[in-house]
Structure 1
């Protein structure tokens, strides 16, 4: 078994009123964990205040190895791996660089607004910017603006899992030129096309061999377009 620590995506099934959450159990054993937190208004003994609670109760990231984490996955311990869809019991992981960048972004921001993947709209990715200076220097992402406010936010994503819009100063970024808009459009179109054929196959409308052929064509089309765009840009 690979002993290299990775960021594993876990599912915390413990009750909200449990004495110890999965986060506390793992960190108590020296495992580095992360879960996005938001502030929730509470009332205690007639006084109003705020409490930090997980944005998604069952979402937890743990940086460790399978040898360390597997004992926590025993039945009854209320903790599970999240598995890759379509894979054979393969735990879901996040790239080291992507996870560290996400943690850095949300911890260095005064306030972060989180989004589930289905809440991200094309309009939120309409303008690309590059951060200048600060802990996120050089990072490129989408600028999210909220109507009626002057707050500017940078969209930082963990693909298919979570996104966070973190505050940025108006003079701390530059606009990026959209050189590869054609590639992004074809990627998005191909993804929707594959999802459509997957649904057709699941409901017995399409044949598995046709789905394999569609996947092959989409991959070849993306590869060809990427080669052409790279050649035109002289990269």
Structure 2
């Protein structure tokens, strides 16, 4: 690791459904990572079970310095950088944005609704800050989302994934003036 490198959150793909395998490998090496998960009911041999599954297959966020991640990537051909199609650069998520995303997605709350970026039009909403409750201080876009009767606060990560939080009381949300 060179002294000029800094820890960053890289958006990555673990191809061929190897996300959990890559996560285990990164955990063993002490490299921070996060896979957004949710509970799902699955039936096996006539019995229903509630199991934790990735929200988006193959998506994994890895916090590392570039050289360390490249070393891991060189030894694992199934781990690939996600590239921003607009500029051809690796997608790096800012620490604060990732911290908020993990804090919300890491609750495995069944009221969270996940979307691909093209499923929600964030331009139609207004930027808000949550001023009370468990997610006080978090920011997002307040919009009507598919699959919900009311407006929700949506936290979005740079064209990778968007997440609508549980319904919030209007008195817990304040509009951020641009």
| Correspondence 1:156 to 2:155 | yes
- The 3-state SS of whatever aligns with 1:83 is coil
Farther-moved stretch of structure 1 (141-150 vs 102-111):
141-150
SS of the aligned residue for 2:83 comes to coil
Q: Secondary structure at the match of 1:11?
A: strand
Match of 2:13 among 11, 14, 18: 11
* SS in structure 1 of the partner of residue 96 of structure 2: helix
- Give the TM-score of the pair, scaled to structure 2: 0.79
Residue aligned with 1:72, SS: helix
**8 Å Cα contact 1:9/1:81 also seen in 2:** yes
Q: Distance in 2 between matches of 1:146 and 1:76?
A: 37
How many residues get paired?
A: 175
Give me the CA root mean square deviation. Answer: 3.0
Cα deviation per residue 1:198-217 (whole Å; 9 max; x = unaligned)? xxxxxxxxxxxxxxxxxxxx
* Bigger helix fraction: 1
- Name the structure 2 match of 1:63: 63
State how far apart, in whole Å, the 1-side matches of 2:91 and 2:29 are.
22
CA–CA distance in structure 2, aligned partners of residues 46 and 60 of structure 1: 32
Alpha-carbon separation, structure 1, partners of 2:108 and 2:44: 28
Q: Any unmatched runs of 5+ in structure 1?
A: 181-235
* CA deviation after TM superposition for structure 1 residue 87, in Å: 5.0
1:173 maps to what in 2?
A: 172
Match of 2:31 in 1: 31
Q: Counterpart in 1 of 2:95?
A: 96
Report the CA distance shift for 1:75/1:63 in structure 2 as closer, same or farther (over 3 A).
closer
Residue matched to 1:137:
136
1:75–1:25: structure 2 CA closer, same or farther, 3 Å change rule?
closer
Tell which structure's C-alpha radius of gyration is larger.
Answer: 1
**Secondary structure of 1:80's partner?**
strand
Higher RCO (C-alpha under 8 Å, 6+ residues apart):
2
Give 5+ residue unaligned stretches, structure 2: none
Distance in 1, matches of 2:85 and 2:126, equals 31
Aligned mates of 2:151, 2:49 — CA distance in 1: 27
Determine the C-alpha separation between the residues in 2 that align with 1:43 and 1:148: 24
Larger fraction in strand: 2
Query: Greater shift after overlay, 23-32 or 143-152?
Result: 143-152
Aligned residue for 1:46? Answer: 46
